[in-house]
């Protein structure tokens, strides 16, 4: 896939070929949905919590004797049917909503969403995003220049993926409504789906390619490490018993 690279002023520079393994995949909605829902569940903050009968204060003494009062029998005032008693089936902060996502599923879903953004014109490449000093006005001017190039950037949230942590760029864009800064190495399916458009520097393409196709690279790196370790180990000398 071919994409045009712009500068920070919105001027065309050149055209580059994007890797098909990252930006040329066919969409699988079921896989993307499964990954996005699991990531959202893993981010869920569980704050609601109710106390059961073992956690509320009170109890210890039987309210009244078992028989002879004409009233129903009770053993504790912490019972759920009593006022100020424990809560039954209430929300608990120890409940686990999240789940596990396999690496291959996570990487493939990310590549599918990136491919959809690129094919639908929701992604723009820039040569670099660098600022000498933190300046929100300069970042806003750059986004306005990109909006003139691509009309899709005029509405909706824009996700700016930096090749590495750039303090001046993060400080320049954090106060702009509708824009979010993120490191390319931390790109994920959920953040991409929550954003309408993606602004990607040229240096971040290699980072994305590395994290998406990390499976094969990791295997080759582990194999080479094992080979190096085996070569470094001294050969065991055979000892003969007398």
Residue extents of the structural domains in the chain: 2-41+102-216, 45-96
Length of the chain: 242
Alpha carbons 229 and 226: distance in angstroms, whole number = 5
Higher pLDDT, 149 or 219: 149
Alpha carbons 70 and 77: distance in angstroms, whole number = 18
How far the first Cα of the chain sits from its last, in Å, is: 72
Of the candidate ranges 4-18, 94-108, 221-235, the one whose mean pLDDT is the lowest: 221-235
Architecture of domain 2-41+102-216: 3-Layer(aba) Sandwich (3.40)
Average pLDDT over residues 73-90: 94
Closest CA to 117 of 178, 162, 159, 149: 159
Closest CA to 178 of 200, 159, 198, 150: 159
Quick one: pLDDT band at residue 1, thresholds 50, 70, 90? confident
Can you give the C-alpha Rg of the chain in angstroms?
A: 29
DSSP type of residue 164:
S
pTM: 0.78
Q: Is 197 helix (H, G, I), strand (E, B) or coil?
A: strand
Higher pLDDT, 46 or 226: 46
Alpha carbons 222 and 209: distance in angstroms, whole number = 19
Helix or strand run (H / E) with residue 158: strand 158-162
Quick one: pLDDT band at residue 223, thresholds 50, 70, 90? low
Structural contact between residues 157 and 123, judged by C-beta atoms closer than 8 angstroms:
no
Alpha carbons 71 and 67: distance in angstroms, whole number = 8
Count CB atoms within 10 A of the CB of residue 79: 16
Average pLDDT over residues 5-25: 90
């Amino acid at each position: 896939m071919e994409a045009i690279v712009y500068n920070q002023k919105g001027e065309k520079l050149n055209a580059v070929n994007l890797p098909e393994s990252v930006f040329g995949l066919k969409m699988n909605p079921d896989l993307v949905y499964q990954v996005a829902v699991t990531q959202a569940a893993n981010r869920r903050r569980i704050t609601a919590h109710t106390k059961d009968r073992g956690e509320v204060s009170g109890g210890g003494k039987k309210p009244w004797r078992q028989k002879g009062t004409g009233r129903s029998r009770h053993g504790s005032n912490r019972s759920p049917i009593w006022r100020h008693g424990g809560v039954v089936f209430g929300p608990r902060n120890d409940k686990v909503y999240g789940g596990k996502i396999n690496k291959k599923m996570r990487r493939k879903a990310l590549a599918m969403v990136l491919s959809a953004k690129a094919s639908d014109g929701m992604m723009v490449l820039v040569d670099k995003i660098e600022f000498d000093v933190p300046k929100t006005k300069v970042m806003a001017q750059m986004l306005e220049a990109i909006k003139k190039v691509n009309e899709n950037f005029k509405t909706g949230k824009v996700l700016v993926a930096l090749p590495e942590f750039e303090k001046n760029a993060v400080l320049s864009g954090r106060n702009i409504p509708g824009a979010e800064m993120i490191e390319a190495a931390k790109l994920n399916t959920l953040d991409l789906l929550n954003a309408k458009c993606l602004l990607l520097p040229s240096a971040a393409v290699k980072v994305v390619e590395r994290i998406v196709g990390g499976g094969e690279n990791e295997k080759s790196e582990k194999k080479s490490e094992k080979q190096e370790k085996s070569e470094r180990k001294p050969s065991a000398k055979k000892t003969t018993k007398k």
